[in-house]
Structure 1
Amino acid sequence: MNLQLNDVQQQLQDSLGRLLAREYDFGRRQQYAASAAGHSPEAWAQLAGLGVTAAAIGEAHDGFGGDAVDHMMISEALGKCLSLEPYHGTVVMAATAIEQLGSPTQQSSLLPRIARGELQVAWAHGESVPGRIATRAAHGVDGWRLYGTKPCVLHGTGADYFLVTAQAPNEGVQLFLVNASTTGVRNAGGRLIDGTPAADLALDDAEGERLGTLTPALLTRLLETGISAACAEMVGAMDGACALTVAYLKTRSQFGRVIGANQALQHRVVDMLTALEQSRSMSVSLALALAGRNDLTGAEVPVHAAKVLVTQNARHVAQEAIQLHGGIGMTEEYAVGHYLRRILVLDQLHGDMQYHLGYLERRAA
């Protein structure tokens, strides 16, 4: 599927590609991963200055009024360079949730700051099934108080706020804004296998500002937006792994000739590139559906199918890339193995491949 970007999107894509090539080569990326922040505040500020953080936020809140296609385009570019920046949690999930559910006051207070790159908000919802949310909310004379845990919140260690889903008695699932520095919030930080900073969030009588009720339909829509962006980021990671592999096969010599002249290896690379383009087509189709630009609008099954197909293809491409590199592909100092690590983390976002495959099997039964 071929997606024609408009002039603004094309300019943003070109500028983003140049910025990431300059600021996010693999050596710098590893320095960012080893830093206390776990990402690059300078690169994040440059992304904001470029308009990346504002692209899909409404014009009424200092954004450019984009949609899921903008998330897809940006996420793919970030995936290709193994970005560690908090785009997914802050912009894809938090900004979308605030736009959908926040009051006018909450929107005007938070969204312009997110658009300018001044605010980081972590998305604290890892449950696949809404009815199984263990975090509780209680309403008292002094407002809402939250109790429970949210494990593995991406970029939770550097967040200014958390968006927390919690079960309220007789009111269903609610979404709360929690200040990271408020009393009752404990934030134990760590790093995932790809270097992404994450936190285990514990809430004990913590004050929360209610945004609204997350109906099953609204929560599903938010998770679909996240799945689309995660799929696009996996496509970017596949693209990066393929590019490294092709370049390596063209330069690595053995027995007096480049190993890329071996026809068996050429066939394996063709399979990788086919998987990449198949996944990109699925990612584009899903983003267009969420943006209301094709006849899949509102369909639920393509979201699950996209996560399964793209994850399967991404794992295959990354594993093949490592094997075709030989021993160097297993080293920490070389980028290709880090693409597989990133893909494994993206697989876990918003339900892993097995969860979505199980959903499709139940629908087909």
Structure 2
Amino acid sequence: MNFELNDEQLALRDSLARLLGDVYGFEKRRAIAASATGWSLPAWQQLAALGLTALPLPQAHGGFGGGAADLMPVMQELGKALVLEPFLSSIVLGATAVRLAADEVLQVQLLPDVASGELRLAWAHDEEAARHAPLWIETRARQQDGQWLLDGAKCNVLHAPSAHRFVVSARTAGEPGDAHGVALFHVDARAAGIACRAHRLVDDTPAGELRFNAARAQPLGDPHDGAAALRALEGTLAMGTAAVCADAVGAMETAYALAIDYLGTRRQFGRAIGENQALRHRAAEMLVALEMSRSMAMVAAVAADDLDAPGARADLARAKLVIGRHARAVCHAAVQLHGGIGMTEEYAVGHCLRRVTLIDQLFGDVEAQAMRLAAMA
């Protein structure tokens, strides 16, 4: 297992860091979060111009053929800047589902426009009753007059209000929780029979609640091949899990850097508060947790790139669990070291805590990952 970035990954990471440093400072992010859409189309276009939207897509369809290991440094930088654009929803999740589930004709139809950033997808999988159970799918797909129709609801669909198409998990057979009868579909976001209630998540990410009422859908692949759809579903969730692990590490890095800077500049009783031994120990514990999380993000990326390898699923769950615990601890500590200023809307450190709080809930929180590991033991 190689834990070092190659030259291309380092160059892309550095280019992205420079771009975000120039155009996505914290005050700019606050303005974007307060806007009507909650994200910036110009910033999205700059990410696309850098080639990021094409990174994990097949070369045959305008992409660069990257995997989770290539996405890791990108997601880390996006997390560091607390970026609000739909990279996770469209490129990591939606495009991965299309790549893994769709036939060649449909990939040719969809992926080139996704790679260019012109077509934005939203991954619609989570349901209210699921409680982190990935196979708890109540949404139903049925055939009528030769067409597939969807009925059901999806919750917390990232960037649903601005998506052009939804990639939706549904059941053609079986009951919620069953491994068989799962299928993946794509739906025009403007189609009849779809209602979207927009809202913002705890870190200001735009999201929506979707309701399907006989909404026309097109299957990704054979809707009766539940085994293939299940593999695509698992692969998509694995890629998303690895991506948010790296995103959380980026947010941790920002929180840690802000805390260390504050300890060195805030003065009480004639000296910097960072000279206090107890606070130095606290900062050292934060650094240890951050370094462990960096390593586990690499473990998650390797596991997501080869999900069928022995122990890969356990590694992925373990990484999400460890990073979930450490991210909350580091960002909590960073807020506490700042005192009251750490809780203000105008200061970035509290937003780092909000980011990792959201990430913990994506793809299974700490408790869900612990239960998955116990089930694998």
TM-score range, shorter chain: over 0.9
Runs of 4+ in 1 over 6 A off after TM superposition: none
Q: Aligned partners of 2:135 and 2:108: how far apart in 1?
A: 31
Structure 1, 128-137 or 260-269: larger mean CA deviation: 128-137
* Residue number in structure 1 paired with 2:155: 151
Matched, 1:246 2:291: no
Cα deviation, residue 132, structure 1: 2.3
User: Which one of 157, 166, 173 corresponds to residue 170 of structure 2?
Assistant: 166
* Residue number in structure 1 paired with 2:320: 307
Cα deviation, residue 28, structure 1: 0.5
* Residue number in structure 1 paired with 2:144: 140
Q: Aligned partners of 1:84 and 1:208: how far apart in 2?
A: 28
Cα deviation, residue 109, structure 1: 1.4
Task: Indicate conservation of the 8 Å contact 1:227/1:303, yes or no.
Answer: yes
Structure 1, 219-228 or 306-315: larger mean CA deviation: 219-228
* Residue number in structure 1 paired with 2:50: 50
Q: Which runs of 5+ in 1 are unaligned?
A: none
Q: Identity over the aligned pairs, expressed in percent? A: 47
* Residue number in structure 2 paired with 1:123: 123
Task: Indicate conservation of the 8 Å contact 1:75/1:236, yes or no.
Answer: yes
1:85 alignment partner, SS class = coil
Matched, 1:35 2:44: no
Q: Aligned partners of 1:147 and 1:115: how far apart in 2?
A: 30
Task: Indicate conservation of the 8 Å contact 2:203/2:351, yes or no.
Answer: yes
**Could you say if the C-alpha distance between residues 333 and 299 of structure 1 is closer, same or farther in structure 2, counting changes exceeding 3 Å?**
same
Structure 1, 328-337 or 3-12: larger mean CA deviation: 3-12
Task: Indicate conservation of the 8 Å contact 2:245/2:300, yes or no.
Answer: no
Matched, 1:332 2:329: no
Matched, 1:59 2:68: no
* Residue number in structure 1 paired with 2:177: none
Cα deviation, residue 219, structure 1: 2.1
What's the CA shift string for 1:286-342, capped at 9, x where partnerless?
Answer: 21233349x966621111111110000000000000000011001111110111111
Q: Aligned partners of 1:296 and 1:206: how far apart in 2?
A: 38
Task: Indicate conservation of the 8 Å contact 2:100/2:235, yes or no.
Answer: no
Structure 1, 1-10 or 246-255: larger mean CA deviation: 1-10
1:198 alignment partner, SS class = strand
* Residue number in structure 2 paired with 1:232: 246
Q: Aligned partners of 2:212 and 2:3: how far apart in 1?
A: 44
**Could you say if the C-alpha distance between residues 335 and 148 of structure 1 is closer, same or farther in structure 2, counting changes exceeding 3 Å?**
same
Q: Which runs of 5+ in 2 are unaligned?
A: 175-179
* Residue number in structure 2 paired with 1:223: 237
Structure 1, 191-200 or 215-224: larger mean CA deviation: 215-224
Q: Aligned partners of 2:353 and 2:270: how far apart in 1?
A: 31
Task: Indicate conservation of the 8 Å contact 1:2/1:281, yes or no.
Answer: no
Cα deviation, residue 252, structure 1: 0.8
Task: Indicate conservation of the 8 Å contact 1:138/1:169, yes or no.
Answer: no
Cα deviation, residue 199, structure 1: 0.2
* Residue number in structure 2 paired with 1:187: 196
Task: Indicate conservation of the 8 Å contact 1:61/1:107, yes or no.
Answer: yes
Matches within 5 A, 1:195-344: 195-212=204-221, 213=225, 215=227, 216-292=230-306, 299-344=312-357
Cα deviation, residue 106, structure 1: 1.2
Task: Indicate conservation of the 8 Å contact 1:245/1:321, yes or no.
Answer: yes
Q: Aligned partners of 1:186 and 1:345: how far apart in 2?
A: 24
Cα deviation, residue 355, structure 1: 1.0
Which AA in structure 2 matches 1:19? L
- Normalised to the residue count of structure 1, the TM-score between the two structures is 0.95
What's the CA shift string for 1:212-255, capped at 9, x where partnerless?
Answer: 34533432222111111111111111011001111111111111
Task: Indicate conservation of the 8 Å contact 2:187/2:217, yes or no.
Answer: yes
Task: Indicate conservation of the 8 Å contact 2:303/2:315, yes or no.
Answer: no
Task: Indicate conservation of the 8 Å contact 1:290/1:297, yes or no.
Answer: no
1:182 alignment partner, SS class = coil
2:63 alignment partner, SS class = coil
Q: Aligned partners of 2:43 and 2:192: how far apart in 1?
A: 31
Task: Indicate conservation of the 8 Å contact 2:53/2:116, yes or no.
Answer: yes
- Normalised to the residue count of structure 2, the TM-score between the two structures is 0.92
2:274 alignment partner, SS class = helix
Q: Aligned partners of 2:251 and 2:173: how far apart in 1?
A: 42
Q: Aligned partners of 2:166 and 2:372: how far apart in 1?
A: 29
1:300 alignment partner, SS class = helix
1:3 alignment partner, SS class = coil
